[in-house]
Structure 1
């Protein structure tokens, strides 16, 4: 396919690139880079800087009174994010809260939902789980006096393992979209299998939120957690989101860690000596929210509300299929070919993935990323990637490979 064809497709299917700041190319013949690393760090929306400065102005002009006054009072700032975050992941507002970062949230949720008893002690993860998920679950198993080499089980086929060994599984914790292969797991099916086996089920949605449509309330997992610095474009180290299913929100038997923001907001400043948690996911909060970390998340969620996941998913399918067609026959793609089994990411098996990634950037202005030893990841994100970006990536790969 020609460069002219790519330009024609962009004219017909333009996306929302103008809403983002595109980094300059470090090499090649184009002014802007072709950016395929939104699965690691999304690009900055143009609105983020002005919105963040507006929130900073409240501190400058109001001081401590900014907690109660100004356009967006800090004391309830976190509530501005709840409904758009809930819409993004298909949850009820009371099931959703934006707080902390991803692995911190997974730890807090495992306090509640990993409760080993008797022979039901195992945590089930996917075979190529992200390392930090492995570290987190192994530490919880050790915390309970168990052996992580025995009680953390990685499998390539969760439903089959649950059918055979489910009576020994306390928690299923899987990545919704696998970080390495880009495969979209069958979240509702695996959730049903986990519950049928008597286990709790949670999902790490770091590579799913903002990438694929989610219906967490309807699918019924016990919990989920996600970050907002990848497809949600909220900046490096940005706050994460948490889902706790409605059926758990009024259950006094669930253990949680508590702090200043775990108690009912309407009575928080009575300074009562005992926490009175609300019947919502807000009860899993601990400290008061970092307003200036929440500001870019709010800006991003407003953008997703405006564009909508239905439109983004449809364009994502088109873009990724186009990139795949450019690579067909001469590149090894390890991501499933069926659109319903993947998000936007394509993972390629290549020699010297790290070196190739550097050459793509320095010689061609194409930013991808690598995972040792032999996986190159390309994520044409539907908000700002273009068909011409895809054409540039394929041409650069041809020259380098």
Structure 2
């Protein structure tokens, strides 16, 4: 990769550490970011695509396999039960054996399972493969959040987490048109339906990315051969200074910590909105009158493209002012407003897309900045367990949200009630975020 120029967006201003100049520190973190962030972003992009491409597969899969909205919602959400069960053990293993080996294992196994989903023929098989996909992927996201704490102090980590999580939005920008194109173009090729090709062609990149991780990712600063001795000392000194003010809780203390449970409740509220939109966005767009799968894919990319811009702008502001709570709450409230407006404008494609864009941008912007809250006070094995606990409990919303939206849609015959429910959770998450003491997280 070519060396970045001095105005690289990954470079961030910061105070000098010891004898190191501010310019040396900025250059060092720029070097680290260009080494780590592109690979991690690609990994999460293909991971998230494999997790939510079932939303596009549904456009053909539901009819082919005779899946009701409730059955689809349960299958989409059951992924998170497997995810929940193995999340904390997986993150503790990563902390012990290192990110390189464990993340590579995660990615290869989930890629294989995603590919095998193309062969399901019954609801029971659909449920089973989604559950196994959750087991395979458990530990990836909280593992990367933990991994970033090994390299970046808090005042730099907010933006790095956001860059990493732009993969969620980019998966929508890229995945929507690509998924729509696969459904339309490959349908019938080799005797397979478009949704089967979707799982095959979007599962293979995960396997390849896992191989890259094994050869390219360094577990810790000390193992990075591409850093000089002076650069390693600077990075380790900054991390050591921050960790001195954190709490390395035993596992039992983490599981009973009121702070960790509060973080879990905030994250669950926001994830309710995220997966309600992610799994149902193609269906909602189709309900406005758009029928062509490729056009649905193109329209689905718009909200996620807007989310990329919003994420980076708000994250830059949060790191500049070292303020976290309002930077989490305001996007959450904007997401709630967008969800409510999408109901009233449901029969006008242009207005509905405007509302869904506001909703998606608000929801996705709140999520990476949320992670600056728990990582501000957790360290060591306590961070591994605490981050995994927050993520696993929060991702139960990934089970509850699509199933609840599907059940409400099937019961009422419309998306209205489901969107109102998701909006209420977004408001709850924003209120809970503001209840966190500023002294605990604003660093």
Tell me the TM-score normalised to structure 1 length: 0.25
Which structure dedicates a bigger proportion of its chain to strand?
A: 1
Give the greater-gyration-radius structure (CA). Answer: 1
More helix as a share of residues: 2
